[in-house]
Structure formats: structure tokens, C-alpha cells
Amino acid sequence: MDIFFYLLVLSVLGVNSQVIQFTKDIAQDEAPKFTEMYFDQFVDHFNFKSHGSATYKQRFLITEQYMKEGGPIFFYAGNEGPIEGFQKASGFLTEHAPKFGALVVFAEHRYYGKSLPLGDKSFMVDNLGLLTIEQALADYAYLLKYLRSKYCSKPCPVIAFGGSYGGQLAAYLRFKYPDLIAGSLSASAPIYWISGLGDPHGFFRSVTDQFAKSSQMCVNLIKQAFSETQKMADQGKYADISSSFHTCKQVNSSTLDHLYKWVRNAFTSIAMVNYPYPSDLLGPMPGHPVDVACSKMTSASNVVTGLANAAGVFYNATAVTCYNIFEDFVDCADPTGCGLGDTSTAWDYQACTEINLPQGSTGKTDMFPLLPLTPEMRAEYCQKKYGVTPRVDWLDVQFWGANISSASNIIFSNGDLDPWGPGGVHTSPAPSLVALEVIGGAHHLDLRSSNPKDPQSVIDVRNQEANIIMQWITDFYER
């Protein structure tokens, strides 16, 4: 690379060459100020007859606060929920935007938040067919065309970001629209598992492994607690089980498995947000919640009480008097559970169509009871609820599966404390596909705002990511 041109790019962006020496002390003086905006988006990008030229209002959050002439667009590909939640959980973009002179945009995924293609009729079963990854990516492409024409006086680079499902979308944007996306940071995206590749029971094994890193004794006690609870059920002691777990309604033989899934969901969520500081991504949680849950297990008077107390680390943030296990956890096509409302319906439908989510726990390769969710069980559920059958090989065809070596300019980051981590990219299949490991990092920790309790590894990974992104921007202007 011509070093003069590199310095020229840095000069255009209003920064000096030390931008390549990113440090923790990077946060801007003012908190980011986002404006809520709406873009007229096509209801259906691919069937010209189904809805013709009808449009809907796609929501996005935008800040020009850090934008400088010649700077890039930092574009977050929204995932399965209202966009403001992902904006709050992705401080990496706004912390680095001043150094890059970036326009920062968080785009909301169709069928989530306020971005409803058919308004209050969007969730009628016959209208859910417009909810696909392909439609969402096309939404983002049209929105980016608009943003580039409005905010860039000449062609400017777009860097896509996303965490988890959003990280999957960020990678797919680079696959599908390399003319629009100069590079993507795909954080904690289990793109292999989601494509139906690898161990279908690997997720709950991975959750177990995360707890074992805290304490193997904790894992042993959790297994023992489930066994003791089952013995109580076999003796008909459902009142005692309900009392131990503080359920609002008494558990019985037909709802015992639901209680088990409710507990399993708590441990799954705790493992995902095992950050070194308090967080509220999935609800208010303490720092190092896996350690906190394990301390509940080891300090309890008996293992069943310990299991209930450990689950309460996730569910008892608001000091509830009893647990409504049927509202806290809703059975669906996702074995990690769905909640209530339209957002849960949307994700459930996606799990019934394109997205391959884990099968159930085995009781052997993990610390949970045997709670199966076979492909046949999922297909039966999806047919009954939505009239669709999951197409388990579709993402392997449409978005390349494991054969991604022909792609370029994507960072795949994964934390070694993230239960989704084993389903992602851990080796670099091509020179410009970079796999980064965050030691001591849970689910997309690197996308979150800097924190004094961050492990050094995430600081180092963020520096690497920022340097790679700068290289992409330099290459864009050099071409």
C-alpha cells in the first residue's frame, strides 16, 4: 500500500496516523444522539405481483454526530427485536465513529419493533411469508442505496456490523452485496450451526461447558438437582417441587418438563450474557452471572433449592413473589424458548422456515434432562402452527454453508465463554476472512461499549477489528 495515500485517507477523515494505535480511551465526550427515521421500503422485493409497488415504513436510528466528509457509513444490521436494544448493546460503533468520521445507522429488521410490512395484519399466518432473511437483506440494500446518495457526496465505504443473528446478517450482506458493503464485522454469529452443519446437540453441550469452566462441581450439582427433582415427581411430591421452585401454579406430571425447560432457559441465558460486569441485554443480570449461579448451587441447603436459586439469578431480577413459568418460558421452535408477543412470533416463524436452531438436550452430553426437539417434532409443530415445514438445507444452499472461502473482508469474532461460539467461524478460510477469539468473552462482548472490567483480550480484539476496518476503508479509496 502507498503510505502517502494511507496518510491522505487519514487526513480526509480528520485523524492522524495514530488511529492504528486504538486504545481503551476512545469514548467520545458526548453520548450518541440518535434520531428515529423511517424509509419507504418495498413490502415484497421478489414477487412483483403479490404486493406490486406497495411500501412500508422501515425504522432506522441514525446519528450524524461524528460524520466527516469522506468518512464511512457504519451500518448495524438489526436482528430479532426492536432496534433500540441493539443500539444500546453495540457501543463499539459509536466509540469508534469519531476516529473514522463515520455516519452511524442502526436499521430495524422487518417484522420486529415498528417495522411491520403489513401493519397490524403483519402477523396473520398468511402474511408471515414476507419474513425471510432474503427480504431483510434486500431491505438493508435499498436503505443503504438511499443513505449513500443522501449523505455521501461521492462513493463512500459501508462497514456492516452485527451480533448473533445480526452478525449472521452482516456476513450475508457482504456475501450478497459486495458492491455496497466494503467489509463486515460478524460478532458471535453461529453461521455453521444455523446452516444445519455440525453437532445438532452442540449448543446445550456448550452451555454445560461454560458452567464447567466456572466449576465442575456446579455442573455435577445441577445434574444431581434435576435427578432429585425427578425422584420427587416419581413419588408424586409435586406440591414440594412447586414450593421449592416458587411457581405460581402447582406443577404436575404434564407440566414437569416445562419446568425443566424453564430452568434450562435460565442457564442458557446466564451463559450467553456471562459478562464481567452487570448488564441488561436479556434482563438485569449481575457481573459474572455463571459464577453467581454456581455459588447459589454450592451454598444451598439442598440441591433442589440450589437449582431454583440458580435459575432465579435470571428470573428474579425484579424480586417476584412467584414464577409464572408459562409466561417466562414459552415452548416454540427454538428450544431456548420464546416469550410472548409479536417479536416472539416472528422469531418462532423464522425458526420454522430458514433458520436451523439446536435440537433438545440429551441428558448425556449436557447437564440437562432429556428434553428432545427432533427435526420431526419441530416440523410437526411448525406445520400445526404456521402451515410450513423447516427447510433445513436452505441456508447451506443460499448462503454457502461452510464453503465461504470465496468471500472477503469479513471479521468473524467469537468469545470462548459464549455457548454459541462453537457454531461459528474459528479458523480463517481465506486471507481476508479473519477469525478472532475473545478470551474471557461471552456473547458478542466485543461489540459492547468499553468497560473498566473488560478483559485485556477484548480490548486487543477491538483494536484489531478497528485496524482491519481502517484497512478496508483505505483499500476502498485506493481502488
Give which of 356, 316, 364, 426 is closest to 208, Cα–Cα. Answer: 364
Q: Could you tell me if 140 and 180 are in contact, meaning their C-beta atoms sit under 8 angstroms apart?
A: no
Beta strands in 64-165 (DSSP E): 73-77, 103-107, 158-163
Q: Could you tell me if 444 and 161 are in contact, meaning their C-beta atoms sit under 8 angstroms apart?
A: no
For 377, the 3-state DSSP assignment is: helix
Q: Which of 109, 201, 288, 443 is catalytic?
A: 443
The answer to whether 139 is a known catalytic residue is: no
Cα angle, residue 350 at apex, residues 267 and 115 outer, rounded to 5°: 105
- 56, containing H or E segment: strand 55-63
The answer to whether 413 is a known catalytic residue is: no
Q: Could you tell me if 70 and 101 are in contact, meaning their C-beta atoms sit under 8 angstroms apart?
A: yes
Return the C-alpha cell found at 443: 456473547
Distance CA 477, CA 148 (A): 15
Q: Which of 139, 209, 328, 418 is catalytic?
A: 418
Q: Could you tell me if 414 and 438 are in contact, meaning their C-beta atoms sit under 8 angstroms apart?
A: yes
Q: Which of 90, 115, 122, 164 is catalytic?
A: 164
Half-sphere exposure (Cβ direction) of 233: Cα atoms closer than 13 Å: 18
Q: Could you tell me if 390 and 375 are in contact, meaning their C-beta atoms sit under 8 angstroms apart?
A: yes
Give which of 34, 76, 282 is closest to 160, Cα–Cα. Answer: 76
Q: Could you tell me if 103 and 76 are in contact, meaning their C-beta atoms sit under 8 angstroms apart?
A: no
- 210, containing H or E segment: helix 202-214
The answer to whether 418 is a known catalytic residue is: yes
Q: Taken in order 362, 368, 371, 372, is the CA torsion positive or negative?
A: negative
Q: Side chain identity at 220, as an amino acid letter?
A: N
Catalytic residues: 164, 418, 443
